Amino acid sequence: MHQPQLPPRFGLLLLASLALGAAAQAQAPVHGTLQDAAGQPLPFATAVLLHLPDSSVASVQTADAQGAFRFETVAAGPYCLKALLLGYRPQHYGFTVTDQPLTLPALRLPSATTALAEVVVEGRPPVLEQHADRTVVNVDRLNTAGDNALEVLRRAPGVTLDKDDQVQYRGSGSVLVLIDGKQTYMSGAALSNYLKSLPASAISQIELLPNPPASLDAAGTAGVINLRTRRSLRPGLTGTATATGGYGRYEKGSGGLNLAYNAGRLRTFGRVDLTHSNSFNNLDIRRQIRDTTFAQQKYWHPVYNGLNYAAGVELPLSPRQTLGGQVRGALDRTTALSTGTSMATAPDGRPVSTVSLYNPSASRSTDRALNLNYRLALDSTGRELTADADLIQYRSRMDQSYQVTSSAPAAAGALGGQQRSDQGADVVIRALKADYVHPAAGGWRAEAGAKTSWVTTCSFLNFEQLLDEQWQLDAPRTDRFRYDEIITAGYATLGTTWRGLELKAGLRGEHTHSVGASATTGQRVVRNYFQLFPTLFASYKIGEHDQLGLSAGRRISRPSYQSLNPFVTYTDAYTALQGNPFLAPSLARSLVLNYAHRNFQVLSLSYLLETNVVSQVAYQNDQTKVTTTVRQNLDRALTLTLTSGGHTDVSPAWGMDNELEGSYNAVTSRLQGQPVQLRRFALSASSNHTVRLPRGYQVLVNGSYGSPSVQGLFYTRSYANLTLGAKKLLWRERATLSLRLSDVFGTSRFRSIMDYNNIRMSWNNQWESRRLSLSFTCKLGSGSTHTGRTRGSADEESRAGH
């Protein structure tokens, strides 16, 4: 019988993969679509592949946004497809698999005429699911009472937060964060604040993609993190309501409503969340400047109030055409008071000087985004064309005042007396993209697409000083900055399956033209460059339960828009932050090798080499005692990671998810003409336990540990965390009451050392990690929830924040 032939370029890869196991039996891909009674797609319905005649489960797939499912490698034999979706009657279809690709006829599910009194799910998804190109974290299996999206993200494997609460993945801060496959168009502090305003109850899954496909933007040298939100597909009005209260040192609270209304062919959703957080951050810094020791203590007390919302509609124009639109946004207000002291002591311990800072501030930001999308199914074989248009506006403002009291005259370049500042940024992003999918005979599948984006950002900083009881402009510290960027991209991918081996290769090209200009300093930086980004995926199924996966790619990370402007801002009298208009993009090569057995990640080996990596670099003026942190390109950063972990059922009532990770980090560069090298082996581990008790009770225990490691130019110290919780299912599992005590021993903190050239600094950063939270979640209606449809564009929004 004729078999599909692989091109010569795949020959070596095929031989290497086949050498890893015995030849598999005849296998072929099986795909199809799930529809309602009217022939409309049923997105995110469940397709269950059953062996015949014993009806044992061979595989389970979730249909995509167009109702399509695909089982990549199915062994020859008789099967039954079972289609499930709450609100619809299950349907079955029998068929036989040979060694040829099989397309099943569309399976239609009629609406259920009676409400389901109770649904019992026998198989619960594990915390971690391993796939060929990604790791999926099922948030429902975590105890997230009182958490926000940022705190949940911190618990994902390979994800950490730096000293400024900014997301790190695979040891790098160059990561692209998406929500439902769509850019947040924020980074840094803006992204952190947005994720803090989004409650954990709104998140269904976290997808970790170290080597994303060519259809996604090439941004993010460490990879992509995609947060999938919840939506309901039940006809009529359905959803969830959540209320949470918590207390650590100060009070906290949040409330949210997530609704969907589906009527016939019309699907709509809406979500709104309110968050209040009263918290603190205590930072101790010690600096050694020649023979003088500076001990700095800073207490930051922010009160945050935020609103986060999203709404969307999908309207089929015809059986093969769908028009959709989404709006989302966030508003936040923060008032904060920072107080601090900086004491300088001589070698004999004698105080030399003392500086005190009183620094109240008020900040506000607004984020608005509009997406329009169109889908055209060209035929029933899976050929389709999609298009998206995005418009995003982001605005931030901050007012601060500084009152500095010193026992000695202020040094040149340091804050002194009374000063005030107001700063802001306005970012506008426009993006257009189109994608085409073309399945072909013999199990081949081709994709192609194009995208263009245009970004404009305008920033300002005004500084004034009180002199002779009058506010006067501080011209050297005042600036205006404008940045324009146009990115044009195109991509193509080609994939196939053959005897248990799945291959996919892609190539993406991106051209960037940017201009950054400072009105005050006269600096103007123009960049014009083109880069190619190849990707390769290979997956080989060894028998029924073992799978070997390989992914490789090249990626880029462009500096955030605000990090390019040359403004100087102050965190205390002797510590400043400054942007860098000369930052170049970072480039990376990445390789990941996975071996999984029954969804347990037996071994995962990750290689990440970044060049021109952007990092915070501290420069110290030994005369003025002022330390200025500037974002700068380092020569290279290498991260090697070895991971093992997965789900284990100790008993029918006790399940646990464990992960163990070992890593090696090395950073090398030249700073101020001197070579700098940081190298260290590190170990981290996490363990999540869920014990189900009678009468709907659950006990949850989570523990994690991280050894000393390297993070940029920081040597970080070890950390540990123990969290305890309990849940009670109410009203036939339609409501959940959750109690959680996080960080029982108060050991979650950021401790680090920076030691190079004339820099000798140590940090001890403590926040309100230990707190008690009580959360109540209630289902409205009787629908099921699914993860959100992937929409929108790519890299630009993630760079809009600071």
Q: Which residues contact 528 (CB under 8 A, 6 or more apart)?
A: 512, 513, 514
CA dihedral 780, 782, 783, 787 (to 10 degrees): 50
Single out the residue of 454, 463, 405, 457 nearest to residue 427, CA to CA.
457
CA dihedral 228, 230, 234, 239 (to 10 degrees): -170
Q: What is the mean pLDDT of residues 540-558?
A: 88
| Contact status, residue 680 vs residue 662, Cβ threshold 8 Å | no
Average pLDDT, the chain: 84
Q: Which residues contact 476 (CB under 8 A, 6 or more apart)?
A: none
Of residues 514 and 28, more confidently modeled: 514
Q: Which residue, chain included where needed, has tokens 């002797």?
A: 574
pLDDT at 612: 94
Q: pLDDT digits over 1-48, tens only?
A: 343 343 433 333 333 333 333 333 457 888 889 988 777 788 778 888
Q: pLDDT digits over 291-322, tens only?
A: 888 898 999 999 999 999 999 999 989 888 99
pLDDT at 358: 94
Geometric angle at alpha carbon 494, from 492 and 496, rounded to 5°: 165
| Contact status, residue 222 vs residue 194, Cβ threshold 8 Å | no
Lowest mean pLDDT across 78-87, 131-140, 736-745: 131-140
- Alpha-carbon distance of 205 to 177, in angstroms, equals 13
Q: pLDDT digits over 768-782, tens only?
A: 999 999 999 898 875
Q: How large is the greatest C-alpha to C-alpha distance in the chain, in angstroms?
A: 94
For 339, what's the count of Cα atoms within 13 Å in the CB-facing half-sphere? 2
Lowest mean pLDDT across 12-16, 268-272, 328-332, 489-493: 12-16
Percent of the chain with pLDDT strictly greater than 70:
88
Phi, psi of 193 (to 5 degrees): -65, -40
pLDDT at 12: 36
pLDDT at 765: 92
Q: What is the mean pLDDT of residues 524-537?
A: 95
- Alpha-carbon distance of 565 to 771, in angstroms, equals 38
Lowest mean pLDDT across 45-54, 277-286, 293-302, 572-581: 45-54
Does the pLDDT of residue 783 top 60, yes or no?
no
Q: What is the mean pLDDT of residues 108-124?
A: 48
pLDDT at 251: 96
Tally of CB atoms within 10 A around 264 = 10
Asked if the peptide bond before residue 53 counts as cis, ω within 30 degrees of 0, the response is yes
- Alpha-carbon distance of 274 to 725, in angstroms, equals 24
Geometric angle at alpha carbon 569, from 568 and 575, rounded to 5°: 100
Of residues 299 and 711, more confidently modeled: 299
Q: What is the mean pLDDT of residues 179-197?
A: 75
Tell me, what amino acid is at 429? I
- Alpha-carbon distance of 487 to 561, in angstroms, equals 14
Q: What is the mean pLDDT of residues 683-697?
A: 91
Q: Which residues contact 166 (CB under 8 A, 6 or more apart)?
A: 173, 187, 188, 189, 191, 192
Tally of CB atoms within 10 A around 679 = 11
Please state the pTM of the whole predicted model: 0.79
- Alpha-carbon distance of 377 to 66, in angstroms, equals 9
Q: pLDDT digits over 48-72, tens only?
A: 888 776 566 677 787 876 788 888 7
499 backbone φψ class: left, alpha, beta (φ>0; ψ -120 to 50): left
Does the pLDDT of residue 786 top 70, yes or no?
no
pLDDT at 802: 46
Of residues 795 and 166, more confidently modeled: 166
Q: What is the mean pLDDT of residues 583-609?
A: 89
Single out the residue of 783, 662, 765, 778 nearest to residue 163, CA to CA.
765
- Alpha-carbon distance of 249 to 247, in angstroms, equals 6
Q: What is the mean pLDDT of residues 331-348?
A: 91
Geometric angle at alpha carbon 772, from 769 and 775, rounded to 5°: 115
Q: pLDDT digits over 367-405, tens only?
A: 999 999 999 988 877 789 999 999 999 999 999 999 988
pLDDT at 413: 58
Does the pLDDT of residue 173 top 90, yes or no?
no
pLDDT at 86: 64
Tell me, what amino acid is at 585? P
Tally of CB atoms within 10 A around 682 = 20
Relative to beta strand 159-161, strand 223-232 is: unpaired
Single out the residue of 422, 414, 517 nearest to residue 473, CA to CA.
422
Does the pLDDT of residue 363 top 90, yes or no?
yes
Does the pLDDT of residue 514 top 80, yes or no?
yes
Of residues 610 and 565, more confidently modeled: 610
pLDDT at 455: 94
Lowest mean pLDDT across 239-243, 407-411, 577-581: 407-411
Phi, psi of 176 (to 5 degrees): -100, 120
pLDDT at 171: 76
Tally of CB atoms within 10 A around 394 = 26
Does the pLDDT of residue 787 top 70, yes or no?
no
Query: What order do you get walking across the sheet with 46-51 strand by strand?
Result: 57-62, 46-51, 77-84, 91-97
pLDDT band at 608 (very low <50, low <70, confident <90, very high): very high
pLDDT at 452: 96
pLDDT at 752: 93
pLDDT band at 801 (very low <50, low <70, confident <90, very high): low
Does the pLDDT of residue 114 top 60, yes or no?
no
Of residues 54 and 465, more confidently modeled: 465
